[in-house]
Amino acid sequence: MLDILEKAAAQNGLVTAFAVVGFIVLVSGQISRRLTFGRVHGSAIAIVIGLALAYWGGALTGGHKGLADLSLFGGIGLMGGAMLRDFAIVATAFEVQATEARKAGLIGVVSLLLGTVLPFIVGATIARAFGYSDAVSMTTIGAGAVTYIVGPVTGAALGASSDVMALSIATGLVKAIIVMVGTPMAARFLALKTPRSAMVFGGLAGTVSGVSAGLAATDRKLVPYGALVATFHTGLGCLMGPSVLFFATKALVG
């Protein structure tokens, strides 16, 4: 019986992946609601569980593709692979409302640019300090400090190694968690009171999940303003990461 079930799951890899990921998201939603009272966003917990499962899969098989190395979960490799990942990320651009975006104005653009370049510089510098001195690894880890989407998209475009990619995702993830948990505590220091201040915050803090969860825990009214600017963050980062930022890094370190 169990053999037949396992065979059915392994032969329908992508369908199994949908079920497994759905279950992970369900569990993390419950953890978010019951254990953290919504303070930590469910999607962040789901990604942490994903990374933990990747560690488990890697430790079990000695492979380099995390959970996807177990034949039963091979479909995870397709679902989270480059093709579907880029497809889903492109689709998120559809929610950007150009008329609303124009209201964010110059200050939104300035904070978006700063929010992409500053974390990149910090991330790339620290990567170099820890011995990741080639331009591709520095750019990938620096891009991870922008958001956990920009990191792997940049890394994939530049052909970074899988461990650097994982490090880049981990960087973006730690950042998103800090933003989610830290925003309500730092709200006074950040002067988060007006829609404009929320837009500045959205541009500089990045990651839609971090910004919307952080603002929701601070002041619900500010959420759309921050999220509006933050939705551009990933697109701008994906545009600048493998191009301008990579060339700048390459010019500096050779």
**Touching another protein, residues 119-178 (CB under 8 A):** 119, 122-123, 126-127, 130, 132, 141-142, 144-146, 148-149, 152-153, 157-159, 162-163, 165-167, 169-175, 178
Residue 181 touching another protein (CB under 8 A)? no
Residues between 78 and 97 that touch another protein (CB under 8 A): 79-81, 84-97
Site string for another protein, 205-224 (x = CB under 8 A): xx-xx--x--------x--x
Contacts of 232 (CB under 8 A, 6+ apart): 96, 101, 108, 112, 203
- Quote the least distance from Cβ 227 to another protein, whole Å: 6
Q: Which stretch binds another protein (CB under 8 A): 4-12, 31-39, 236-244?
A: 236-244
Residue 197 vs residues 68, 117, 148, 190: alpha-carbon distances, Å: 42, 19, 24, 8
Nearer to another protein, 178 or 248 (CB): 178
Number of neighbouring beta carbons within 10 Å of residue 19: 12
Residues between 11 and 70 that touch another protein (CB under 8 A): 17-18, 21-22, 24-25, 43, 46-47, 49-55, 57-59, 64-68
CA distance 226 to 129: 33
Amino acid at 161: S
- Quote the least distance from Cβ 149 to another protein, whole Å: 7
Q: Which stretch binds another protein (CB under 8 A): 5-13, 32-40, 188-196?
A: 188-196
Amino acid at 107: I
User: Three-state SS for 70?
Assistant: coil
H/E segment holding residue 245: none
Nearer to another protein, 8 or 26 (CB): 26
Among 112, 204, 215, 217, binds another protein (CB under 8 A): 204
- Quote the least distance from Cβ 5 to another protein, whole Å: 21
Residue 85 vs residues 79, 88, 146: alpha-carbon distances, Å: 7, 5, 18
Number of neighbouring beta carbons within 10 Å of residue 12: 13
CA distance 94 to 205: 22
Q: Which stretch binds another protein (CB under 8 A): 2-10, 31-39, 74-82?
A: 74-82
